[in-house]
Structure 1
């Protein structure tokens, strides 16, 4: 039977009984076994593997291509607890468990959660006992008919893929059981450069047997930590009941959140006091901004056009771990994407780790985040109810983030009948009911552009791959013009566009590859994005456009490019080691800092002869040298400088480029006879 390490046992036993909310990370050790079992309490876990969270049992087979294990698995661990202090509550918090989770404490069922990507909590106060406590969790990543997603072009990594915590707080506390949300909701009722009018709603709960009188104190601090507002009010909390308190805050001369140009954040703390003692507290970031979309001018931030462009970001997965990674991987990914120059991200195709939303607030990234209605749907009431649950969780857990601008209600459902139209309409209405201030969209692919299913939400978004799956590169601009003329009052944008590429496969100039084949030369992806960049930049009416993908990701059903089990349309490789040429092309379009990059650096060895050389730049002109010999200065057109006929002789050859700002880049090619 599992025994805690001495250090962790001491830490748990000594967990202080304090007035304020306490959190304890339950990262390990856990016992784990794939497969099902009869009961939670009568298992012999002595031979099970020891694991540390986050953990996925598909970290190997989910990345190999083809079939991978989808089904039940068990996690167990022991908690040593002192006798519970009077007037305290204990909750288990899961940041995600894929796809469904059932939890037992000491053989008694604490609850079940359906949905693999949102935070959820259970009150386990009455299930804990002094001393040894056994925690058991059954997860299941099989295809469950009532749980979204029912399909999708990605591996469904099973397990406790995000952190688990034990939370302890006072009987009278800020609500913890509202769909995993923080219990504090902030609405901006009016916002100008002169003043901000905020309505703060705090959900409270008293689980005690007697009524409680408390003081609710709200404090707003600026980015330097200085208090700029503080307001308090007495609250009477009935026994064993919920209560909601509303407070109006008026802030003079607010400092606005201006996206990547000035991501200014206040901090709002909500404290519940008994006398002078803080009994519970929640701290939230607060960015003051307004978002809107104009069918002609595109995305508006604080009333002004804001260039919204970026990538589809799947998950900070890594080889050998799948999606069971932590904050460090999120931070690395966002550093790379800020280097790229994105102003926004589409978070696909499900709710992302909390760290993504937190860092997006701080970096100024505008987010489109969505629920996992993807590829397939069921008309069963239980499936609809699960979608509604996952949408409520997405909104209530993330509506306090300034970065979140768009709620996505689905992606590429492969049917176009009344059922999907009605479902998308219902989801739109629920999102607006939950959060009237933000916009909604659906990523449409597979029916006519003006089909009713594409128009149920505030914004129309389309996934288009001309030049990859069908059509030609040059189709994207005329398509956008025709649709804009047909739907002049509807904001339209591009949810996805992209092409596959392997850094191990080089062909210059490339022939058009087959999407499902094993040859995806890096050069073709670059040509694809060169063409799209020219056309999209000339159409400011698009409310946003997002490259598919930022990073290659695991997709067990694929067998193409240089490896099975990978969708290789990323601008960066799955291991994050290589930025593909298309990354540098978009960097030249999006980055404000100087960019100069010689393309085709991996296209070596190559034959002698005459070759076209190109560089990506956000400068005005660039000069090329080959082995120190000048090849001329050319203008930069659509972020590309081209030398169409450069002679290359056999031997080791150095190419060096310089622009008018002094930026340089160089590569070496092995030129063979």
Structure 2
């Protein structure tokens, strides 16, 4: 950015904001004794930002007509409302975030960094009116050093200008979800010594943990450490690696001396053996260790970083699927978008907790965090819950043959890998989604995706590269990664649900040496729409009955589970999500393929179909429960359950108990009485009894 352009930008910004008063950050009090601890300190600056949202270039939104300034806490998006209501008219504009930050008196050699968890899509940072840096990419964290530009011992004005307009050099150029603008993850200041474990390596922790030589007796853990030294060459620096078990006990320790640490960025490593390692065993036993890296200079501790990690091996076989620690392990998964009603992407840890609790309740063993890098807390939850993760970058639908686009794809992939390197849950790095999409033609994607697949192997040889492919199946762009998976919607966008099995059999036959998975399959459902017997829904219609989604998934899971060569399958989607350009299923601005409603309040029938097949927690669920009004006396009652035996009753009338080998129990020709009827299901398994009931009303014809 030239000085002239910077001056014009600043003039426009300050004119838009006008005079303002910004409070000192209480949690950055320069008088705090704790601030002067000899190791790094991270200070949240999420509160009290003044944000000014500029009017849209094409002012079609009812929510913002002119510039307006408000005080917000982060995370924040200006599209919380207009990004979910339909109309394809949400604000793709600029938001200007301003906050006063208190910087304490400087200790000798002290450094300060700004860390932004994510800002969508392009973020420009200024301190006291001076341009500091820019980050292009809306899903990964970035770090900028402020040491030389802040006024130490004083208040400083921090400004972050965020732009979620279309940028041809920053993927995704377009996609089937809302691009919520704003700073929607945490922002903090990081204070360190002049020599520190580097926060500047693509905003990673600076510590990369790799395990190998894993056996029942031992496992080798190697820590690759990036160092950042601002001042003079340091000699005799001691690095110590401690491995700490789940109980907090140190089970292995090793020191290494770095003879000379040069000015700038450098690297070192330490290897250590863990005796009798406790393996990370997925959902059965997601055991985690902690690696603590400390740096000492003389008798002074100068830095410390802790990273959780797990010890595990995995592999993928074209015929037998996924194995974890040498044993077959079925990857039963869902896709997950990160938005919520009325907050968009600006979600809290509580929201993450709720989402992943439901994912585990359903019995999932895997999750695809689509279509972009998600919050670090989400990956940590997967570590703790034992969910195997497919993580990916937002290269979606089409590419551009420009150096800037190529460079940004590489940047986002490196950020994804390095920022999330130590999560044992992550087994797959996704490099593109539907990049051969015939509905959005563009340049040949093969050169770029080939380069990205190779970059993935270079950055992390311990995991597998993967893509989410679409038609045409045989396009070479779909076959450059180590694994392939397909987004296929038999019975929704094309053909019938029962056509899925023959298609995937043919793919396996054509490519016997390539592991094949299913990255997306699904159908829409509005919980207020009901139809029995269900007919195939028109995907772009306003009628999406819940019952069709259920039978769609019944068919697909039967076919998937019968084919062990499918290395993993991922339902699209776990939750309904915002897509402002959609208008279907009676819900403008919504993709309703979720197994749970957008507000997370209603689990659709299909959710319980998967829970019956995937979960060991005994339950019974009466389907079509929300179809309360019945116009025929004789109805079919269908129940999903994982119990050994299920019986039903309607009022005082009891129907014979059934057993089922496929978790589906059905009673045809159940008689309803005029008026309200209580339908009750009782399941028994291993001496335990579970129940469910609902009310249906029958209006007898006179």
TM-score normalized by the length of structure 2: 0.92
Distance 1:34 1:6 in 2: 23
Structure 1 position 619, deviation (Å):
2.3
1:667 aligns with: 694
2:77 aligns with: 56
1:373 aligns with: 395
1:461 counterpart (485, 493, 496): 485
Residue range with higher mean Cα deviation, 156-165 or 468-477: 468-477
1:431 aligns with: 456
Matched, 1:11 2:24: no
1:479 aligns with: 503
Q: Deviations over 1:623-647 (max 9, x none)?
A: 1111021122223242100112111
Structure 1 position 113, deviation (Å):
0.4
- C-alpha contact 2:23 2:100 (8 A) present in aligned 1: no
Distance 1:670 1:280 in 2: 68
Written as runs of structure 1 = structure 2, the 5 A alignment for 1:541-580 is 541-580=565-604
1:58/1:169 CA distance change after superposition, 3 Å: same
User: Aligned pair count?
Assistant: 664
Distance 2:479 2:27 in 1: 56
1:306 counterpart (329, 348, 355): 329
Structure 1 position 209, deviation (Å):
3.5
1:624/1:75 CA distance change after superposition, 3 Å: same
Distance 2:442 2:141 in 1: 33
2:365 aligns with: 343
Q: Deviations over 1:568-622 (max 9, x none)?
A: 0000011000000000010001101213111111011111321111100112332
Distance 2:105 2:250 in 1: 38
SS in 1 for 2:444: helix
- C-alpha contact 2:430 2:466 (8 A) present in aligned 1: yes
Residue range with higher mean Cα deviation, 231-240 or 66-75: 231-240
1:111 aligns with: 133
Structure 1 position 7, deviation (Å):
6.8
1:41 aligns with: none
2:192 aligns with: 169
SS in 1 for 2:411: helix
2:98 counterpart (73, 76, 97): 76
- C-alpha contact 1:2 1:78 (8 A) present in aligned 2: no
Structure 1 position 477, deviation (Å):
1.2
SS in 1 for 2:404: helix
Matched, 1:288 2:306: no
Matched, 1:158 2:181: yes
1:421 aligns with: 446
- C-alpha contact 1:12 1:79 (8 A) present in aligned 2: no
- C-alpha contact 2:25 2:102 (8 A) present in aligned 1: no
Structure 1 position 210, deviation (Å):
4.8
Distance 2:373 2:553 in 1: 28
1:236 aligns with: 259
Distance 2:231 2:36 in 1: 17
- C-alpha contact 1:152 1:375 (8 A) present in aligned 2: yes
Q: Deviations over 1:326-347 (max 9, x none)?
A: 2111111111111111000001
SS in 2 for 1:250: strand
1:40 aligns with: none
1:523 aligns with: 547
Distance 1:578 1:650 in 2: 28
Distance 1:36 1:319 in 2: 23
Distance 2:28 2:570 in 1: 49
Matched, 1:120 2:142: yes
1:126/1:96 CA distance change after superposition, 3 Å: same
Written as runs of structure 1 = structure 2, the 5 A alignment for 1:243-282 is 243-282=266-305
- C-alpha contact 1:343 1:365 (8 A) present in aligned 2: yes
SS in 2 for 1:574: coil
SS in 2 for 1:631: strand
Distance 2:101 2:242 in 1: 36
Residue range with higher mean Cα deviation, 396-405 or 452-461: 452-461
2:39 aligns with: 20
Distance 2:611 2:626 in 1: 18
Written as runs of structure 1 = structure 2, the 5 A alignment for 1:545-624 is 545-624=569-648
Distance 2:606 2:484 in 1: 26
1:361 aligns with: 383
Q: Deviations over 1:258-315 (max 9, x none)?
A: 0000100010010111234321111101100011101111011111110101100111
- C-alpha contact 2:74 2:184 (8 A) present in aligned 1: yes
1:96 aligns with: 118
Distance 2:277 2:499 in 1: 45
Structure 1 position 418, deviation (Å):
8.0
- C-alpha contact 1:237 1:243 (8 A) present in aligned 2: no
Distance 1:474 1:455 in 2: 25
1:347/1:508 CA distance change after superposition, 3 Å: same
SS in 2 for 1:299: strand
SS in 2 for 1:62: coil
Distance 1:493 1:582 in 2: 21
Matched, 1:207 2:230: yes
- C-alpha contact 1:347 1:370 (8 A) present in aligned 2: yes
SS in 2 for 1:243: strand
Written as runs of structure 1 = structure 2, the 5 A alignment for 1:386-397 is 386-397=408-419
Structure 1 portions without partners, runs of 5+: 38-45
TM-score normalized by the length of structure 1: 0.96
> 4+ residue runs of structure 1 moved beyond 4 angstroms?
415-418
SS in 2 for 1:663: strand
Structure 1 position 16, deviation (Å):
1.8
Q: Deviations over 1:480-509 (max 9, x none)?
A: 212112211110010000000011112222
Q: Deviations over 1:496-550 (max 9, x none)?
A: 0000001111222222221111111111101101111111111111000000000
- C-alpha contact 2:54 2:68 (8 A) present in aligned 1: no
1:507 counterpart (531, 538, 563): 531
Alpha-carbon RMSD across the aligned residues, in angstroms, is 1.8
2:108 aligns with: 86
SS in 1 for 2:554: helix
Distance 2:607 2:27 in 1: 48
1:43 aligns with: none
1:409 aligns with: 431
- C-alpha contact 1:62 1:68 (8 A) present in aligned 2: yes
1:246/1:239 CA distance change after superposition, 3 Å: closer
SS in 1 for 2:36: coil
Matched, 1:384 2:406: yes
Distance 2:155 2:549 in 1: 57
SS in 2 for 1:494: strand
Written as runs of structure 1 = structure 2, the 5 A alignment for 1:222-233 is 222-233=245-256
